[in-house]
Structure 1
């Protein structure tokens, strides 16, 4: 694809490379997919904003997932009303198909301060990434403490600390109204990553990040550091409307920001909302329980119920059809 190409902005991740700087990146904007994620729930605006930012991070990071791989991001909080923000990205089932995103948040509505900073509502905790390559493989999981004052800063710290890959995110999100359209959520952002090295340089003075964690500058030599700082200075000139607005094409944005860095773009990856829950998956998750255990899950009406936290789907089962002592698999609704 050439830089002059025109592609749909919405619900697309566009990978690119800066040939002059040995830096790769992605441009993303979520529109309809974000609306589909959020309409599954009735979150206050503060929680919606956190979920929107997490979905954007998931789309940018998940673009590298191969066919049928799964990426999961989690932020778990302690000491604040926001206890969990979880997202999943499912790699395309076939070439040319969209990646699928789903998300949900758990929080204490009684202690949530709607007028406070959203990130501060999480408190202490950790940021985690899990990659599942499918049956027969061992999932990979990496965890870093929450740091930096935003979800995007947490992701940057994760890549520096756990992967030793300098990474930068510039993200924005919010509710938008266009002529002839109702108000709805939009999100857009750019991700930069320095190409990984076999043996990253460790700064002689030790980690410079928050709480003794690694930062991008700690794992780059002088020449690489100069390239990295230059690309970040260029990214600092981006305007929020360029990231989130529908009138700026991603290829035009790359030319405006990085034309001297020789940007080269690749095929875009569409994304959509998608949930993988099903009655069979719920039944499988309960297959480790005995009939006695299943009895404790049975309601006064004589059924076992389950609700998907991601999409809100409701399932009902006859208790005798569940667990490793099940007599049949009938009765799910």
Structure 2
């Protein structure tokens, strides 16, 4: 089977549990999602890789949370890549796909040929959970740490949630002969079920004293954690990306001694929530004088969505709180 062929477990997240060590996990495979995210932009290769990794993390983390609306991941740094932002919208109905969107802001003149993570400077990794109208959003922040965005995510869970977490990710361009070049990604997320936090006393063993996963486990839990992560570290890149090995077969290969159980998979797709109505709503706080300052020489107000590239061209007379009823 060609890697470029659409297969049943592309753009899905498969939840699973390892009963023996009391751990939960997710396996994700992304294909069309990444195409939807990346084709909207002319990113340098290093930036593309960062956005692909961030989208994969978003799919894995988003599926672990019972969302009524949105999970957002964000990285902000003083490096060449200033910001990466992703959103995961939970399905509105059971059986429907979740939606993912992502974009990066960067200084093209400062981006080098170095690998993606080296394009980040000092900054932070943040997770925002917004359950919708009437609910107070939750935000957790941790410094940029380790050597990858997955290290940052694992550090976040250790520091902010005190949940031992580990990721194994693979992503890159598929360049098979006869198949259009495109991005694919796959990964596994493992978490110890929440009961280990009482062992997290004092500083951690990570950069600048940050907690790491092994700081949060002790006794039998530590033995289980070390054994399972040792098995996870044997995973090969092509096993993560597919298509030769189904996620269920990969679980058996890696964790057959841990009594793995799988649950219903969650389909994911690229999706943006922007619309003309949302643009109009965002501009409704401005006066006619403010709107005039935004008007182009052609007498229009324009807006572009950073996530999906949609372009909106609006009549300034219909915008702002002083606008008439007509739209154009």
Q: Please say whether Structure 1 and Structure 2 have the same fold, judged by a TM-score greater than 0.5.
A: yes
* Structure 1 unmatched ranges of 5 or more: 1-6
Contact 1:67/1:93, CA 8 A, preserved across alignment: no
Contact 2:154/2:167, CA 8 A, preserved across alignment: yes
Match of 1:60 in 2: 60
Task: Summarize deviations over 1:136-191 as a string: whole Å, max 9, x none.
Answer: 11111111110001100000000001111111000010111346422211100000
Contact 1:308/1:314, CA 8 A, preserved across alignment: yes
Q: Secondary structure at the match of 2:49?
A: helix
For the aligned residue pairs, the C-alpha RMSD in angstroms reads 1.4
TM-score by length of structure 2 reads 0.95
Match of 1:117 in 2: 115
Q: After the TM superposition, which residues 175-194 of structure 1 pair with which residues of structure 2 at under 5 Å, given as runs?
A: 175-178=173-176, 180-194=178-192
Cα deviation for residue 287 of structure 1 reads 1.5
Match of 2:3 in 1: none
Q: How many residues align?
A: 322
More divergent stretch after superposition (82-91 vs 289-298): 289-298
Q: After the TM superposition, which residues 268-307 of structure 1 pair with which residues of structure 2 at under 5 Å, given as runs?
A: 268-307=265-304
Cα deviation for residue 65 of structure 1 reads 4.0
Q: 1: distance between equivalents of 2:97 and 2:315?
A: 36
Q: After the TM superposition, which residues 249-268 of structure 1 pair with which residues of structure 2 at under 5 Å, given as runs?
A: 249-268=246-265
Match of 2:91 in 1: 92
Say if 2:203 is the partner of 1:206: yes
Q: 2: distance between equivalents of 1:329 and 1:143?
A: 44
Cα deviation for residue 66 of structure 1 reads 3.6
Q: Secondary structure at the match of 1:254?
A: helix
Q: 1: distance between equivalents of 2:288 and 2:301?
A: 12
Q: Secondary structure at the match of 1:58?
A: helix
Q: 2: distance between equivalents of 1:178 and 1:66?
A: 38
Match of 2:45 in 1: 45
TM-score by length of structure 1 reads 0.93
Contact 2:172/2:184, CA 8 A, preserved across alignment: yes
Match of 1:148 in 2: 146
Q: Secondary structure at the match of 1:192?
A: strand
Q: 2: distance between equivalents of 1:106 and 1:174?
A: 20
Task: Summarize deviations over 1:190-214 as a string: whole Å, max 9, x none.
Answer: 00001012x7123456311111111
Q: Secondary structure at the match of 2:57?
A: helix
Q: Secondary structure at the match of 2:313?
A: strand
Q: 2: distance between equivalents of 1:87 and 1:236?
A: 27
Distance 1:67 1:201, change over 3 A: closer
In structure 1, which of residues 237, 243, 248 is the aligned counterpart of residue 245 of structure 2?
A: 248
Say if 2:108 is the partner of 1:103: no
Task: Summarize deviations over 1:66-96 as a string: whole Å, max 9, x none.
Answer: 4642011001111x11001111111011100
Q: Secondary structure at the match of 1:230?
A: helix
